[in-house]
């Protein structure tokens, strides 16, 4: 068992053998879901792949202590965890499906492992075939970054270790998966080439710019600790009030 209490700010353990989280504190209802290989097929480089890890990843939604229930609900936020075990699907590294946020930002943090976050914006908000900008954010435990409104994002685990990330986002946000589903994934695929990682453009898009790399910010305080300082998270519900200042959060 891996104790994640210090890094996450919550009494959580990872049972690495069966890739499950154990919640040892007083938590209200937590929704657990899985993304199977069949469900992820529309987002893969090779949707016809025969074999691969199954499930591909797990999500625990609405995670918070019972003592923080009123604060979280009043602030109109929710906190989720995503676990991506190591593995490949026909040579493509395990990943999340990917989705877009139209109007609201989201904060992401790594709890365990090392993450590749790929975020992209679109030139045309109707057909989603032309990418305006694409960024690769590398992050290790304790590192955080903000996904801006209007961007899509997905998470890739290219390392031989479990990857656990968390997100904090407004309850008002809507998730649009269609740009990723219709284009068989994000604008780039991350492929296993032995000791190398091949990053190749997705040919289902009409135009894809070169990737710009960004490093996530290190912060010793767990993201969850901000339930005691919710004013710092106001930008998640009201990004228009901050005129882009939240980008330097």
**Distance separating alpha carbons of residues 16 and 119, to the nearest angstrom:** 28
Condensed to tens digits (0 to 9), the pLDDT of residues 143-153 reads: 999 999 889 99
Radius of gyration of the chain (CA): 17
Average predicted confidence (pLDDT) for the chain = 92
**Distance separating alpha carbons of residues 88 and 84, to the nearest angstrom:** 11
From the candidate CATH numbers 2.40.50.140, 2.60.120.10, 3.40.50.300, 3.20.20.450, the one assigned to the domain spanning 31-248: 2.60.120.10
pLDDT at 245: 55
Torsions phi, psi for 226 (to 5 deg): -75, -5
Condensed to tens digits (0 to 9), the pLDDT of residues 130-179 reads: 999 999 999 999 999 999 988 999 999 999 999 999 999 999 998 899 99
The residue among 71 and 246 whose pLDDT is bigger is 71
pLDDT at 248: 52
Helix then strand count (H, E) for the chain reads: 5, 20
Give the percent of the chain with pLDDT over 70: 96
Condensed to tens digits (0 to 9), the pLDDT of residues 91-136 reads: 999 999 999 988 899 999 999 999 999 999 998 766 789 999 999 9
Q: pTM for the whole thing? A: 0.94
**Distance separating alpha carbons of residues 134 and 116, to the nearest angstrom:** 13
Which residues of 85-202 form beta strands (DSSP E)?
Answer: 88-89, 92-93, 99-101, 106-112, 115-122, 131-139, 143-147, 152-156, 163-170, 175-176, 188-193, 196-201
Cα atoms in the 13 Å half-sphere on the side-chain side of 11: 7
Structural domain spans, the chain: 31-248
pLDDT at 249: 47
Mapped onto helix, strand or coil, the DSSP state of residue 52 is coil
């Amino acid at each position: 068992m891996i104790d994640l209490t210090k890094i996450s700010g919550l009494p959580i353990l990872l049972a690495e053998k069966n890739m499950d989280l154990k919640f040892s504190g007083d938590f209200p209802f937590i929704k657990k879901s899985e993304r199977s290989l069949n469900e992820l097929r529309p987002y893969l480089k090779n949707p016809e792949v025969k074999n691969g890890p199954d499930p591909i990843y797990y999500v625990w939604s609405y995670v918070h202590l019972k003592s923080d229930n009123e604060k979280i609900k009043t602030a109109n936020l929710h906190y989720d965890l995503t676990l991506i075990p190591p593995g490949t699907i026909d040579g493509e590294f395990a990943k999340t499906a990917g989705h877009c946020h139209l109007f609201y930002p989201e904060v992401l943090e790594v709890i365990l492992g090392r993450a590749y976050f790929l975020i992209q914006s679109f030139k045309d908000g109707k057909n989603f075939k032309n990418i305006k900008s694409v960024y690769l954010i590398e992050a290790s435990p304790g590192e955080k970054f903000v996904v801006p409104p209007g961007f899509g994002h997905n998470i890739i685990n290219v390392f031989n270790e479990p990857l656990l990330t968390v997100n904090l986002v407004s309850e008002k946000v809507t998730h649009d998966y269609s740009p990723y589903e219709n284009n068989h994934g994000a604008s780039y695929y991350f492929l296993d080439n032995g000791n190398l990682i091949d990053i190749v453009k997705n040919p289902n898009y009409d135009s894809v710019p070169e990737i710009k790399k960004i490093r996530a910010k290190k912060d010793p305080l767990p993201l969850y600790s901000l339930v005691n300082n919710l004013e710092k998270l106001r930008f998640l519900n009201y990004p228009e009030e901050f005129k882009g200042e939240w980008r330097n959060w």
